[in-house]
Amino acid sequence: MARVRRLAAGRAGHGGTLDPDAAGVLPVAIGQSLALLGRIDWSPKTYAAVARFGALTDTLDAAGAIVARSAPPWPGRADLERSAPFLVGAGLQLPPQRSAIRQHGERAHRRARRGENFFLAPRPVVVHSLTVTDADGALFRFVAEVSSGTYVRALVRDWAQMLGQAASLVALIRTRAGPFGIEEAVTLEELQEDGIEQALRSWQAVWSGPRLELAAAEVAGVLRGRFPSGLEPENGVLTALTREGRLYALTDGPQRFVRVFPEGLS
């Protein structure tokens, strides 16, 4: 993100962290569009993953120290496919302590690195689908489509435990985040070569909520903080106020602005 901020010559943020050793799609916003990041659900997210039976680490991936071991025979593809449906659906997941979750104002991974003992409460997650793509000895590969906030590392831990094994994540690629797939992603090197403007997408690419069209005369009033008379957005529902494809404000009820965009978002 530091490199993106330098290229953007200003503020930049992202729509969901990636583990340090993971790769793939990371939605990025700059300037005024940062206000949308926390108001968009980037679900579902899709991951291609590789895991290995035989050892569980304290980070749940290959970077950590081994805390438990298991021995062959390793579960085969049929075992994985039979057990996968039990992990699909809504449920609670115990997140890894080496994670970006904030607890008492501090990232959990920082407390874990200091050797502190603490507990992270289980979090609600949804596993939309879990598809085994290969199994060869201790290694197995799968594709998971999950809700935001789901840790694939923890999914591997739970899956292995279900099969009476220890396992850790070996490799992870996020292939989709909400509307963005890896086929349309750009690398940092491409951003540096072509410029960040070439990679920007319209706010409409990520917006799936309701929108109300403003009259030309109403835009000026909105930019001065005046709510248009007669406009009745649904109470409690985030709604975009637009004019000819530009986003000028977000509202969540009558006479109430959540955010106004002085220059409008294209």
Digit-coded pLDDT (tens) for 254-263: 999 999 999 9
Instruction: Give the residue among 12, 17, 19, 28 at the shortest CA–CA distance from 187.
Output: 28
Rounded mean pLDDT, 16-43:
86
Residues 6+ apart with CB under 8 A from 175: 24, 25, 46, 47, 48, 143, 181, 182
Which pTM was predicted? 0.90
Q: Which of 19, 58, 79, 252 is catalytic?
A: 19
Digit-coded pLDDT (tens) for 95-125: 988 777 887 778 877 877 777 777 788 999 9
Digit-coded pLDDT (tens) for 167-205: 999 999 999 999 999 999 999 898 888 888 888 899 999
158 part of the active site: no
- Give CA separation, 131 vs 83, 86, 134, 154, in Å: 11, 12, 9, 16
Instruction: Give the residue among 135, 129, 150 at the shortest CA–CA distance from 60.
Output: 150
- Percent of the chain past pLDDT 90, that is, above it, reads 67
Relative to beta strand 239-243, strand 211-213 is: parallel
Domains and CATH numbers, the chain: 2-41+181-202 (no CATH), 45-177 (3.30.2350.10), 209-265 (2.30.130.10)
Instruction: Give the residue among 7, 53, 63 at the shortest CA–CA distance from 195.
Output: 7
Q: What is the CA radius of gyration of the chain?
A: 22
Q: What is the dihedral of CA 29, 31, 35, 37, to 10 degrees?
A: 10
- Give CA separation, 90 vs 40, 44, 129, 153, 206, in Å: 20, 13, 11, 17, 24
Instruction: Give the residue among 149, 42, 18 at the shortest CA–CA distance from 90.
Output: 149
Please give the backbone phi and psi of residue 86, each rounded to the nearest 5 degrees, phi first: -70, -15
Instruction: Give the residue among 266, 263, 203, 245 at the shortest CA–CA distance from 37.
Output: 203
Residues 6+ apart with CB under 8 A from 34: 11, 12, 13
Is there a contact between 19 and 61 (Cβ–Cβ < 8 Å)? yes
**Residue length of the chain:** 266
Is residue 97 classed as helix, strand or coil in its secondary structure?
coil
- Reported confidence tier of residue 25, pLDDT bands at 50, 70, 90: very high
Digit-coded pLDDT (tens) for 88-98: 999 999 998 87
Dist CA 169 CA 163 (whole Å): 16
